[in-house]
């Protein structure tokens, strides 16, 4: 039986960081207007919208590279908690169109990042 926990951690990191990075790139290309609107609707300063670049660009790169991985993963956890609080609280107990949980994607990012916080980067990482 093939067993390599470090390789598994690398796959987990690349999956989490890679998929989250697409969201950050989209916001970089198309702006953070939607997030600004959500913040304003909750009475929060719209300048906080730019924090999404930390959670969806910087943090995923940290996780992918294995540089300060636990901090990067923790930033993603925080990013997802904010996203759920601002946009998705009404869906917490809802089913999606295909019958699964309506927040599967958000749950995936949140719980995968939390796993990386606890597991760490493994052996395949940048030296830090």
Q: Tell which residue, 104, 109, 71, 86, has the closest CA to residue 32.
A: 86
Tell me if 12 sits within 8 A of 116, measured CB to CB. Answer: yes
pLDDT (0 to 100) of residue 11: 97
pLDDT (0 to 100) of residue 78: 98
pLDDT (0 to 100) of residue 60: 98
At 97, give phi and psi (nearest 5°).
-65, -35
Q: How many helices (H) and strands (E) does the chain have?
A: 6, 0
Q: Tell which residue, 19, 123, 107, has the closest CA to residue 69.
A: 123
Residue found by looking up tokens 């990013």 in the block: 79
pLDDT values of the chain reduced to their tens digit, one per residue, 128 residues: 667 999 999 999 999 999 999 999 999 999 999 999 999 999 999 999 999 999 999 999 999 999 999 999 999 999 999 999 998 887 777 877 887 888 899 999 999 999 999 999 999 998 76
pLDDT (0 to 100) of residue 120: 97
């Amino acid at each position: 039986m093939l067993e390599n926990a470090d390789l598994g951690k690398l796959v987990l990191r690349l999956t989490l960081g890679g998929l989250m990075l697409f969201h950050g790139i989209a916001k970089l290309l198309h702006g953070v207007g939607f997030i600004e609107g959500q913040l304003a609707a909750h009475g929060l300063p719209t300048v906080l919208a730019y924090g999404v670049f930390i959670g969806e660009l910087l943090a995923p790169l940290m996780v992918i590279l294995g540089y300060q991985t636990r901090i990067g993963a923790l930033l993603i956890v925080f990013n997802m908690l904010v996203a759920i609080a601002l946009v998705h609280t009404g869906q917490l107990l809802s089913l999606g169109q295909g019958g699964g949980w309506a927040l599967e994607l958000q749950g995936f990012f949140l719980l995968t990042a939390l796993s990386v916080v606890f597991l760490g980067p493994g052996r395949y990482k940048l030296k830090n």
